[in-house]
Amino acid sequence: MKVLLIGSGGREHALAWKLAQSPLVSDLTCAPGNAGIATVAACVAVAADDILSLLGLIDRDGYDFVIVGPEQPLALGLVDALEARGVKVFGPTEAAAQLESSKSFTKDFCKRYNIPTADYGVFTDAAEAKAFLKTMNAPYVLKADGLAAGKGVVIPETLSDAEAELDEFFSGKFGEASTKVVIEEYMTGQEVSFFAISDGKTAIPLIGAQDHKRAFDGDKGPNTGGMGAYSPAPVFTQDAMAEVMGTIIHPTVAGMAKDGNPFKGVLFAGLMMTPEGPKLIEYNVRFGDPECQVIMRRLQSDLMEIFIAAEAGTLDTLTAPAWLNDPVVNVVLAAKGYPGSYEKGTTIKGLDAAQDIDGVVVFHAGTKLSDTGDVLANGGRVLNITSQASSLERAVQNAYKAIDECVDWPDGFCRRDIAHHALKTGR
């Protein structure tokens, strides 16, 4: 099959790496890709959110199957446009992608289908929102309704801070995304990223992982896209996964179908493992980044076969995906300054040596090749050092060994405590 993958992050490098191993994929192209993806796929310089140019590329080059990595093209209706053309595509329609693109859509949906999540209110008016705040307990959870690149959630500790924050939301802190605001009950517990695949009728579980959203050690500093991940997450037991399939994933797939928005693609459930059981924090409609990288390294089955079954509506007949037991950790190397301003174009060396360490695979995120073939930093999150070993301790040691002894990039930084929680507590 001639396959087009859309995106340019570490998530897409991991997907491309896995797809390139599939006997079903004879020709793999990525738009726009990065320096790492270029080692396993042909890259074309079309941006992931440039829908018209993507459609032009697909019309011109004729792909058998398209896989969409990031959320923007999904929310912009790329899948709808491809389905109208008769092109096979893995990913949800614009209407189904509202599970990620509108938090109020998802909260109202969960309420109608009795899916466990935090209590909430939705507001377009500051006075009403403030009156509702007074009925809630601290800390307060405020969310911009629309897509805000993972930054649209603020959790003030005091009522006065929450009121001031609300004023900022309504005066355009996140532009159009925060003209509508969701206020939620604060939940406590460990967070888990869980992934399931749906063909619109049937959902099958993949596995769980844990992310590290804050920029610095000890979960300090600003929120980022994610600074590291590991899988399995010991807190997410087989029983917990079965419970989440039963209370959250299956009702979602059935509800979306019933509402006329059948969901095809990856359902990424951000879960809080609360004392009352797992509850949904939010949905994303694509793989997580940096979670996808650890999940792809544990997947033993053919990824393309899963995507084909999801597109064709035959997941009910697919053999359950098989997983390697050995844990995988992913330590993200980001450009100094990220998630604030940072430099681009600095040179990275030592990646081949890093991959000579047992169990280490490096996935690129924001990288590009210079005219002379050097790898240059080209974004905020730049590299993913993934490491698989027979124990989580060993996997973590090897990832940091690769970073400390091999990767030569003075302009980058990473967290030193990825997987610390599981290492310390065993859960």
| Binding positions for ligand GLY, rule: CB under 6 A | 150, 211, 225-226, 284, 288-289, 291
CB 207 within 8 Å of CB 166: no
Among 186, 216, 323, 400, binds ligand AMP (CB under 6 A): 186
Give dist(CA 207, CA 225) in Å, integer. Answer: 20
* Phi then psi dihedrals of residue 358, to 5 deg: -50, 125
Which of the listed partners (ligand GLY, ligand AMP, none) does 184 bind, with a CB threshold of 5 to 8 Å by partner kind?
A: ligand AMP
CB half-sphere exposure, 262, CA atoms < 13 A: 12
Strands 2-7 and 65-68: parallel
**Residue 95: CB minimum distance to ligand GLY, A:** 21
Out of 118, 197, 215, 334, which residue is the one contacting ligand AMP (CB under 6 A)? 118
Interacting stretch for ligand AMP, rule CB under 6 A, among 85-93, 162-170, 184-192, 312-320? Answer: 184-192
Q: Does 313 bind ligand AMP (CB under 6 A)?
A: no
Q: Which of 12, 145, 165, 282 binds ligand AMP (CB under 6 A)?
A: 282
Binding mask 342-381 toward ligand AMP (x if CB under 6 A, else -) reads ----------------------------------------
Which residue shows structure tokens 């359950």? 320
In the bound complex, what is the minimum distance in angstroms from residue 116's beta carbon to ligand AMP? 12
Contacted entry of ligand AMP, ligand GLY, none for residue 98, CB cut-off 5 to 8 Å set by kind: none
Q: Using CB under 6 A, which residues numbered 212 to 271 contact ligand AMP?
A: 213, 270
Q: Among ligand GLY, ligand AMP, none, what does residue 186 contact (CB within 5–8 Å per kind)?
A: ligand AMP
Other CB atoms within a 10 A radius of the CB of residue 175 amount to: 10
Beta strands in 243-399 (DSSP E): 264-274, 277-284, 328-335, 347-348, 360-364, 367-369, 375-377, 381-388
- Contacting residue, 141, 240, 392, 399, with ligand AMP by CB under 6 A: 141
Q: According to DSSP H, which parts of 301-341 are helical?
A: 303-312
| 72: enclosing H helix or E strand | helix 71-75
Write down the H helix ranges in 225-302: 238-244, 250-258, 291-298
Of residues 186 and 323, the one with the C-beta less far from ligand AMP:
186
Single out the residue of 51, 55, 153, 257 in contact with ligand AMP (rule: CB under 6 A).
153
